[in-house]
Chains A and B, each alone.
Chain A
Amino acid sequence: EAGVTQSPTHLIKTRGQQVTLRCSPISGHTSVYWYQQALGLGLQFLLWYDEGEERNRGNFPPRFSGRQFPNYSSELNVNALELEDSALYLCASSSGTGVNEKLFFGSGTQLSVL
């Protein structure tokens, strides 16, 4: 069974540009989560999508947005890139949000903003 897949693996952008990151969850998983992993800051929650709807977002500015498609894949969009957006962006999926559910992470997209 394929795990969570993310693309691209690496990306280099300049300040002010826009970027789109993609995520395909494990087959059968309806919930997709996006996290930002910046150096020394751990995993910061960005967005949660379930059944095509945004269910929750973390403490990030509106230039971070995304969507979930009918096949449950997801995109994360970041507009007006800033230097501090340089980080590993991780996507995770789960089949639900209940007590016994687990998060499965992809390998991430490493974004460098110059």
Chain B
Amino acid sequence: QQQVKQSPQSLIVQKGGISIINCAYENTAFDYFPWYQQFPGKGPALLIAIRPDVSEKKEGRFTISFNKSAKQFSLHIMDSQPGDSATYFCAASRGGATNKLIFGTGTLLAVQP
């Protein structure tokens, strides 16, 4: 019940295309859903986050879509660029607590020029 399942494991997208990464959770008490971006040789960095009071949050080319009834959330990267090539992790926690983040297994995104 504490798991966050992430798919796909890897993704190849052409430049200018849309990248979509999906996550699903079981624990209905989760109420904070961040996405982290990790470049090779670096630690993950917070990219964008959403709380369940909204169904969508957009920051530039990055959008989180949230479906509370399905217990799913996804990251959409519009107009994907080679510089977006990285590993993306979804995560979830209760009360937005940083000490209780449960991470997905990650998606390796490669954007081809």
Contacts and interface: CB of A to CB of B under 8 A. Distances in A.
B105 A102 contact: no
Contact of A106 (B43, B96, B99, B101): B43
A45 interface: yes
Given A90-B43, A103-B46, A106-B43, A43 B89 contact: yes
18 contacts: A31-B98, A31-B99, A33-B98, A40-B9, A41-B105, A43-B89, A45-B103, A55-B99, A90-B43, A90-B44, A98-B96, A98-B97, A99-B32, A99-B95, A102-B46, A105-B36, A105-B44, A107-B42
Contacts of A50: 99
Nearest to A56: B99
Interface of B: 6, 9, 32, 36, 41-46, 89, 91, 95-99, 101-106
Interface of A: 4, 31, 33, 35, 40-45, 48, 50, 55-56, 90, 92, 94, 96-108
Given A55-B99, A94-B98, A40 B46 contact: no
Contacts of A42: 6, 89, 103-106
Contact of B99 (A90, A97, A100): A97
User: Which 9 A-B pairs have CB atoms at the shortest separation, nearest pair first?
Assistant: A105-B43, A42-B105, A99-B96, A43-B103, A97-B99, A94-B98, A101-B98, A42-B103, A103-B98
A59 to B, nearest CB: 10
Given A106-B43, A107-B41, A48 B103 contact: no
Nearest to B101: A103
